[in-house]
Amino acid sequence: MTGPAEVRCMLMRGGTSKGAYFLAESLPAGPAVRDDLLLRVMGSPDPRQIDGLGGAHPLTSKVAVVSPSTHPEVDVDYLFLQVAVDRPEVTDRQNCGNLLAGVGPFAVERGLVAAGDDETSVRIRMVNSGDFATATFPTPGGRVDYTGVTKISGVPGTAAAVVIEFPPGKSRLLPTGNPRDTVAGVGATLVDNGMPTVLIPAGALKATGYEEPKDLEADQELAARLHDIRLAAGQLMGLGDVSGTTVPKLTLLAPPRHGGAVTTRTFIPVRCHTSIGVLGAASVAAGLRIEGSVAHDIAVLPEQGDRLRIEHPSGFTDIESSIDHTSDGGFRARRTAVVRTARKIFDGTVFPVPPTGGRS
């Protein structure tokens, strides 16, 4: 079995990523056959992804699979799949908070959720982790409206706001229980507020934290150090051997330069993100709030309010973040919310490369 020769698909920008959105019923049920099909849909493995939908970068080689949920408090299930660009690899080991911004509108477009007269809220279960989110967006007259005045860094122009709120997760905010650990010889904070993330002072790795992503990617000594830190952090965070996965994320931190709380450079895992992922930003924001963390020492925190501005290479991401102390002396996330935008790019049929590599 090689999967269908054509598949209904919607290409959407979600936040600062772009991906192919599918109904689960449109794809093969078996993961191996499904993944083979998606590699051919996206044009992988090929550094240009010239024969598929992929955009030759991890941020534009993503897939969202959406289906009605059996959970009594959820409308739809969302499975995120990261399709490698230059390797025949599809992984479900992480969430994607950027593509999450498009899941609610996609669910309405496909008739999985009825639209409200003015706005619609869609309750979403992120299958990768079991976490939940609620996305609220405008639907005047019962139709999704992608136009608006909200601007997010890393995306030209403006669009309608998609407000995503995350309830407190069940996982430990600090997987090791420590605000600060020594990981492969470097002081770091290991935090998971929806995305397993390793927070590292940029100076500890002989970086400023203000470099351009391409310059950081070209630093082979830095790449080797990050590799060692990520493998060690994976073990400490209970993720096991992470050599073949994209989590945990690694984020270098530096003091803010433009009025925010902190400056970030995030690796996924070797490419330096041109902005920052939604869930990665949520984990960074929570880490800033934890007394004794490496992030807390660097951050410039507001005197009041929950909003934190996370600076990144192409601008900033605003996160509403607050934490509580637990009875055992630890920490838990109390509230996390973010404003994103999304846009439907096309809705139609995609014709994957035939499994033999030939052309139709």
What is the residue-level pLDDT of the chain in tens, covering all 360 positions?
578 999 999 999 999 999 999 999 999 999 999 999 999 999 999 999 999 999 999 999 999 999 999 999 999 999 999 999 999 999 998 899 999 999 999 999 999 999 999 999 999 999 998 989 999 999 999 999 999 999 998 899 999 999 999 987 667 899 999 999 999 999 999 999 989 999 999 999 999 999 999 999 999 999 999 999 999 999 999 999 999 888 999 999 999 999 999 999 999 888 999 989 888 999 999 999 999 999 998 999 998 889 899 999 999 998 989 998 887 878 989 889 998 999 999 999 999 999 875 544
- Kindly state whether residues 115 and 144 are assigned to the same domain: yes
Is-contact 40 351, C-beta < 8 A? no
- Kindly state whether residues 68 and 158 are assigned to the same domain: yes
Which pTM value belongs to this model?
Answer: 0.76
Q: Residue 281 sits in a domain of what CATH number?
A: 3.10.310.10
In this structure, is residue 1 part of a structural domain?
no
- Kindly state whether residues 323 and 279 are assigned to the same domain: yes
- Kindly state whether residues 161 and 242 are assigned to the same domain: no
Q: How many structural domains does the chain have?
A: 2
In this structure, is residue 2 part of a structural domain?
no
- Kindly state whether residues 72 and 210 are assigned to the same domain: no
- Kindly state whether residues 149 and 227 are assigned to the same domain: no
- Kindly state whether residues 37 and 140 are assigned to the same domain: yes
In this structure, is residue 355 part of a structural domain?
no
In this structure, is residue 173 part of a structural domain?
no
- Kindly state whether residues 193 and 296 are assigned to the same domain: yes
Range of the domain at 132: 7-167+342-350
- Kindly state whether residues 133 and 193 are assigned to the same domain: no
